[in-house]
Amino acid sequence: MSHADTMGGHAGVMEKPAFSVPAKKMAMWLFIIADTATFAGCLVAYGFLRNATPDWPRPFHSITNVALMTFILVTSSLTMLFAIDAAKAGEKAKALQWTLITAGAGALFALLHIREWLGLIGEGMTLLKNPWGTGLFGAAFFSITGLHLLHVTCGVIALVVVGIRYQGGRYNADDLEITGLYWHFVDLVWMFVVPLVYLLNLSH
Partner 1 sequence: MAMAEGHKSNAGRYVIVYICILAIAFLQFVIAYSNITAPQMFARMLFLAVVEGALALLFFMHLSDNHGLLWFVVVFTVFVLLAMQYGWTDSFRELLGAPWSNYSKY
d(CA 68, CA 115): 13
Encoded one letter per residue, x for contact with partner 1 by CB under 8 A and - for no contact, window 132-151 reads --------------------
Q: Is 22 left (phi over 0), alpha (psi -120 to 50) or beta?
A: beta
For partner 1, which is the closer residue by CB, 48 or 126? 48
For partner 1, which is the closer residue by CB, 41 or 124? 41
At 171, is the secondary structure helix, strand, or coil?
Answer: coil
d(CA 2, CA 31): 30
Amino acid at 86: A
Encoded one letter per residue, x for contact with partner 1 by CB under 8 A and - for no contact, window 155-194 reads -----------------xx-------x--xx-xx--xx-x
At 202, is the secondary structure helix, strand, or coil?
Answer: strand
- CA-atom Rg of the chain in angstroms: 21
**According to the binding rule CB under 8 A, does residue 63 interact with partner 1?**
yes
For partner 1, which is the closer residue by CB, 142 or 192? 192
**According to the binding rule CB under 8 A, does residue 67 interact with partner 1?**
yes
With beta carbons less than 8 A apart as the criterion, state whether 137 and 59 touch: yes
Binding site for partner 1 (CB under 8 A): 18-21, 29, 32-33, 36-37, 40-41, 44, 47-49, 51-54, 63, 67, 70-71, 74-75, 77-78, 81-82, 85, 88-90, 172-173, 181, 184-185, 187-188, 191-192, 194-196, 199-200, 202, 204
